[in-house]
Amino acid sequence: MKEINSNSDLLNILLQSLSIISKVTYGYVTVTNSEGVRIKTVDYKGEELIDLKGIKYSLAHEAYVNHKPMYGLSQLEKGAEAWCIPIGEYVLCASNYERVKSNNNLQNSLIESLPLIAKVVGGEAVMFDEYGKRIKSISSLGKVSEQYLGKISGDAKRAMDTQRPVIGESNYVFGASAVRIPITKNFGIGFNNEDSIKKSQKLLNEIKKNRNAKYDFDDIIGESFQVKKTKQIARLAAKSLSNVLIIGESGTGKELYAQAIHNGSNRRDKPFVAINCAAIPSNLLESSFFGYEKGAFTGAAKEGQAGFFEQANGGTIFLDEISEMKYDLQSKLLRVLQEREVKRIGGKKAIPLDVRIISATNKNLNKLIDNNEFRLDLYYRLNVIDINLPSLRMIKEDIPILTNYYIKKMSHSFGKFIEGIEQEAVEVLVNYSWPGNVRELVNIIEKAFNLSTDTNFITKEQLPERIRSDYNESIFIEKSLDEMLIKYEKEIITKTLKLCNNSRIDAAKKLGISTTTLWRKMKNFDI
C-alpha cells in the first residue's frame, strides 16, 4: 500500500509540473505510464489536451524499457523534437511542438506569399533550406519554376550560416541582382529583379541589332591596369573623328573594341560594317569594297551593288586583318581615304563618303612595310590613333574575373545552374600561357560548362588535359627549383661556418646577414 501511495504521490508531482515545463519548453508536455500510454498532455499554455489521453507514444515506452532518457521526434508535429525521461513507473516527455509549429506555419505562409512577392519585385521568389538549397521557386507570373529546385546557392548558404541578408548577383539571370534573407535557422527566402533586367536587355539588344554593333565598353571585362588603360584610350578614340588602328594577338577582342568605339561615338546610330580582309576571295575584293554598276562585268547583278564603303556611309567601317589586304587594293583604299569619295566599278559618279575607319591587325605592320608588303602612306592614314590590346598572359589577374563573367553569361544562355569555379581550377587557368587569349578561355569555359553535371562549380577535372598537364609540370619545376635552392643555401652556410670555426658571428658577417637570420636558417636546415 505504501508503494502505491509513493507512485501516486510521484504521479501527482509530475502532473502538477506539466504546466510549468510546457511554458519553459514552449511545447507539449506529457506523462505516460510504463507502456508509453499518455496519462495527461498539456500545451504550452498548460491546458490539457483531452484528445491525446490514452494514445501511446513509442519514444516514451522505449525510454522506460531502456531505463534511460531518449531523444527523438515528436509524435504530433513534423520536424518537432522531443525528449523522454523515465521516472519511476512513469515517463516525462516534452517537445518544442509550438515553436516548430509556429515555424512551419510561418514557412507555409511565406510559401503562399511567394507569388505575391515575385509579382511585386518583378522577378523570381524562392525559398531555401538551412543549406541554401532551393525548396520552392515561383516566377513573377505565379508559375512554379522547377528547373533549379534542389540546387544550392552559395549566397543563400552564406545567408543561412551568418543569419544575415546577403545581396549579390543572380545565379542564372545574367546581370540581375538577388537578395537572400534568412527567416529562421531552418529556412529563408530570396528574390531577384529578373523581369526588369530582361526587359532592359531586350531593349538594349534591339538597339544594338539596329545599329549592327552589339558591344559597348561595359562588355570589355577586366580590372587590371593594362585593361583600364586600354579602355581609357579607346574611350578617347570614340570621341574623336580620326581613324583607329587596333593591334593585338588573335583572340584579344579587336572587334569587341571596334564595336565599343563605334557605339561610344556620335556615329552610334549609323551603320557599323565589319569586314575580314582575309576572308574575301581576291577576285571579289575590289567589287566588294567599292561596289559596281549594272553590267560592269560578267555575272554582275542587274541592278548593281553598293560596296562596303557605301554601306558604311555615315558610320564606321571595321577592316579586320588589314595586313592581309592585297597591295594593289591598298592603293585604291588610300585614294578613297584621301579623296573621301568612292566610284563604283563601271560607274562615273563619285559618291561622297563620311566614314570612320577602324582597322585591326595581329601582325607587325612595320615589318610588312620593310618587306614592301604594306604601304607606308596607307599606314599613316590608318594609324592616327593606335590601341595595343594586352594578351591574356599579360593580364592574368583578370582571369578569375573573366571566368566568372562568362560562367554567369553561359548560365543565362544555356539555362544551366553553374555558380562559379573552384579555386584549384582557377589556379590551373592562371598558370596556362593562353596562346589563343580570351577567345580560347571562353572556349575552355564553355567545354567545362557542358561537362559539369552534379556540382554547381567547374572543377579542375573538367578542364582540358593539356592545361592541367602544364600546371602539374610547372608545380614540379617550381618544387624542384625550391629544393635545389635550399640544398645550395645549406651547403653555403655549412662551408662558411666551417671556415669561421663555427663562429656564428663571423659566419653571419661573411654571409652578409644578421646572426638572428643565420640562427633561423640553421634551425630550418637542421645544421
What's the CATH code, domain 393-463? Answer: 1.10.8.60
What per-residue confidence (pLDDT) applies to 210? Answer: 46
Q: What is the DSSP letter of 68?
A: S
3-state secondary structure of 143: coil
This model's pTM is above 0.75: no
Contact in structure between 164 and 182 (CB atoms under 8 Å): yes
Torsion 22-23-24-28 (CA) sign: positive
Q: What's the grid cell of residue 181?
A: 534573407
Taking the CA atoms of the chain, what radius of gyration do you get in angstroms?
Answer: 38
What's the CATH code, domain 100-196? Answer: 3.30.450.40
Residue-range domain boundaries for the chain: 2-95, 100-196, 212-390, 393-463, 469-524
State the CATH class of domain 2-95: alpha beta
Contact in structure between 378 and 333 (CB atoms under 8 Å): yes
What per-residue confidence (pLDDT) applies to 305? Answer: 84
Angle among Cα 425, 454, 140 to the nearest 5 degrees reads: 105
309 vs 391: CA distance, rounded Å: 31
Per residue, what are the HEC states of 385-433? EEEECCCHHHCHHHHHHHHHHHHHHHHHHHCCCCCEECHHHHHHHHHCC
Torsion 178-179-185-186 (CA) sign: negative
What per-residue confidence (pLDDT) applies to 201? Answer: 62
> Do the domains 100-196 and 2-95 match in fold?
yes
What per-residue confidence (pLDDT) applies to 285? Answer: 75
Cell 515528436, residue located: 74
Task: Please report, in tens digits, the pLDDT of each residue of the chain (527 residues total).
Answer: 344 457 788 889 899 899 889 888 888 999 999 999 999 999 988 899 999 999 999 999 999 999 999 999 888 887 888 999 999 999 999 998 888 888 888 888 888 989 999 888 888 999 999 999 999 999 888 888 888 888 888 899 999 999 999 998 887 676 678 999 999 888 999 999 888 777 766 655 554 444 478 899 999 999 999 999 999 999 999 999 999 999 999 999 999 999 999 999 999 989 999 998 888 777 677 888 888 888 666 555 667 888 899 999 999 999 999 999 988 889 989 999 999 999 888 888 899 999 999 999 999 999 999 999 999 999 999 999 999 999 999 999 999 999 999 988 888 777 777 888 989 999 999 989 899 999 999 999 999 888 877 678 888 888 988 888 766 655 555 555 566 677 767 888 888 888 888 888 888 888 888 877 788 788 777 78
273 C-beta neighbours (distance < 10 Å), count: 21
Amino acid at 441: L
Angle among Cα 389, 393, 395 to the nearest 5 degrees reads: 65
The answer regarding whether domain 469-524 maps to CATH 3.40.50 reads: no
- 212-390 fold: Rossmann fold (3.40.50)
Q: What's the grid cell of residue 507?
A: 659566419
Cell 524562392, residue located: 126
Q: What's the grid cell of residue 261?
A: 568605339
What per-residue confidence (pLDDT) applies to 480? Answer: 53
CA distances from 120 to 88, 109, 115, 200, 517 (A): 59, 17, 9, 18, 66
Contact in structure between 384 and 243 (CB atoms under 8 Å): yes
Where is 188: in which H helix or E strand? Answer: strand 187-192
Q: What's the grid cell of residue 280?
A: 574575301
